[in-house]
Amino acid sequence: MKNCLIVLGMHRSGTSAFTGILDLLGVNLGTKMLETQRDNPKGFFENKYVVLANDCILESFNSAWDDPIPLPQNWPARFENSQLLEDARAFLRTDIPDNQLSALKDPRLCRLLPFWLPLLKAENITPRIALVIRNPLEIADSLQRRNGFSLEKSLVLWMQYMLEAERNSRHLPRDFVRFEAILHDPQQSIERLFHNVGLDKPNFSAVQPAELDQFLDHTLRHHDASEEDLKARCHNIIADYYRLLCKISEGDALAEELAAFDDVGDQFQSNQQLFYNKDVVLALERAKEENTPSWYHTKLNRIKTQFDTDKLFREYRYLANTEHLYQERIALHRKVQDQQNDGLALKDEITNLQKEISKLQNQLLTPHIRISDLRKQIAADKNQISVLQQEVVGQSSENTGLRSEIANQRDEITILQSAISTRLEEIAALENEVSNQQQARLTLQNVISAQKLVISALQNRKPVASASDLCLTGRKHVLETGHLGFER
């Protein structure tokens, strides 16, 4: 039975330290390993073939390990029945022996695990997952020092790697281990992980403590970030995802914790789709293609094809222009002959016209006399016109005087109209006064009529009302009827 422990984690996350301990424990890592480099003097502990195969997969999508753009959906289908797939199976058959624990470590496996898992199953290899966790700020600082990456790019890369590693391995036996735990107590961390993924307890007695301490040289850890740094420098989504990973590394994953993984991951992918939309991805792919030999070869062929097309076109245009110029030359020659014939005809016409002009000049001698008489008549008419113009000027002055007189008369009329209006107002006032006097006269007549009645009553010696009673009766009548008159 074949068992393979697949070590997953972002670049600079401590996967090399973890896999190096596996190497000290006698775990099979393969035959051809990557050489040590200045940025990792203890070694990468990565199989050369796995790294080359993963780079080949990424390059087929114009991508690389530091490309934050997600791979296309259903990308493993591109390699079905490919030579790369057959070579990968051959590698697994030869480098993963029976009855010995093997390990594969390459950070690219976080994203490319869907390519390898079917091959492991086809070769009857049981995969078990060790997921190494490290503070994303420490990784970003390390990548900035080694590769010059910005903080933002490194954080997005960390999130992309860890998100895909968690989702791609969720259905497999797995455990999470923190980088700090590996450095602090490597034996307990690895024994706990082996137990949780169903592997036999590793034999740490075969490893000398001094050898283990020398390998885990704490002076090689150049970056350390605190929770305060995480709050101040890290985006909330990425910080929350790191805290979830740390929490789940302390015990079994609960359903609600996995749901929280999905919620944070979905939110991150939604943001990715906003910034890495189809237009941006297409533009980046075109930019990457311009740096490949195939792009230069295609461009050279396109230029050559265009040159051949232009050459044929130029030759055709030359032949067409030659034939056109020949036909144009014949047409111009005919046109010159026609113009020469027209010139001869015009000369004859000019001669005839000259003769006619001479005849007309002779005819013009007679009208000269008539013209002289007309000129005299015109001079006389001009004199008469001058006299009439002077009369017009005099008439204009007279008209000006009349206009001034009319204006004065209009002013007088305005004054008279104003006086008339005043008189009309006075007449209205007088008419009102006359009306008042007539009313008073009617009142006096009524009084006189009343006195006559009194006198007549006295003469007839009949009892009559007194004068004061009559006055009261008259006042009452005025109040009831509204006028002073009495009926007779």
pLDDT digits (tens, 9 = 90+) for 361-405: 777 766 667 777 778 888 888 888 888 888 878 888 887 888 888
Per-residue confidence (pLDDT) for residue 283, from 0 to 100: 58
**What mean pLDDT do residues 423-449 have?**
87
Per-residue confidence (pLDDT) for residue 464, from 0 to 100: 47
152: left (phi over 0), alpha (psi -120 to 50) or beta: alpha
Nearest 10 degrees: Cα torsion 451, 453, 459, 460: -160
pLDDT band at 296 (very low <50, low <70, confident <90, very high): low
State which fold the 2-277 domain adopts: Rossmann fold (3.40.50)
Q: Over the chain, what is the mean pLDDT?
A: 83
Cα–Cα distances in angstroms (integers) from residue 433 to residues 420, 465, 483, in the given order:
20, 35, 18
Residue 452 φ/ψ, nearest 5 degrees = -65, -40
Q: Is the pLDDT of residue 312 over 80?
A: no
Give the lowest-confidence range in 307-321, 409-423, 452-466.
307-321
**What mean pLDDT do residues 447-461 have?**
86
Per-residue confidence (pLDDT) for residue 435, from 0 to 100: 86
Q: Between 24 and 482, where is the model more confident?
A: 24
Per-residue confidence (pLDDT) for residue 392, from 0 to 100: 78
Task: Quote the CA–CA distance of 124 and 5 in Å, as a whole number.
Answer: 14
SS3 of residue 487 by DSSP: coil
Per-residue confidence (pLDDT) for residue 201, from 0 to 100: 92
Per-residue confidence (pLDDT) for residue 37, from 0 to 100: 80
**What mean pLDDT do residues 191-211 have?**
91
Q: Between 311 and 465, where is the model more confident?
A: 311
pLDDT band at 219 (very low <50, low <70, confident <90, very high): low
Per-residue confidence (pLDDT) for residue 162, from 0 to 100: 95
Per-residue confidence (pLDDT) for residue 488, from 0 to 100: 38
Task: Quote the CA–CA distance of 448 and 222 in Å, as a whole number.
Answer: 141
Per-residue confidence (pLDDT) for residue 290, from 0 to 100: 61
Task: Quote the CA–CA distance of 413 and 11 in Å, as a whole number.
Answer: 114
Task: Quote the CA–CA distance of 143 and 80 in Å, as a whole number.
Answer: 34
Please say whether the beta carbons of 268 and 163 come within 8 A: yes
pLDDT band at 196 (very low <50, low <70, confident <90, very high): very high
Q: Between 133 and 432, where is the model more confident?
A: 133
**What mean pLDDT do residues 39-49 have?**
85
Q: Is the pLDDT of residue 289 over 70?
A: no
Task: Dump pLDDT digits (tens) for 67-98.
Answer: 988 898 899 999 999 999 999 999 999 999 99
Task: Quote the CA–CA distance of 242 and 432 in Å, as a whole number.
Answer: 111
The secondary structure of 304-333 as a DSSP string is: HHHHHHHHHHHHHHHHHHHHHHHHHHHHHH
Q: How much of the chain, in percent, has pLDDT values that exceed 90?
A: 37
Residue 367 φ/ψ, nearest 5 degrees = -65, -15
Q: pTM for this structure? A: 0.58
**What mean pLDDT do residues 133-137 have?**
95
Task: Dump pLDDT digits (tens) for 229-286.
Answer: 888 899 899 999 999 999 888 876 666 777 888 888 888 877 776 666 565 556 556 6
Q: Is the pLDDT of residue 487 over 60?
A: no
Q: Between 191 and 399, where is the model more confident?
A: 191
Give the lowest-confidence range in 124-133, 208-217, 462-471.
462-471
Task: Quote the CA–CA distance of 158 and 179 in Å, as a whole number.
Answer: 14
Q: Is the pLDDT of residue 111 over 90?
A: yes
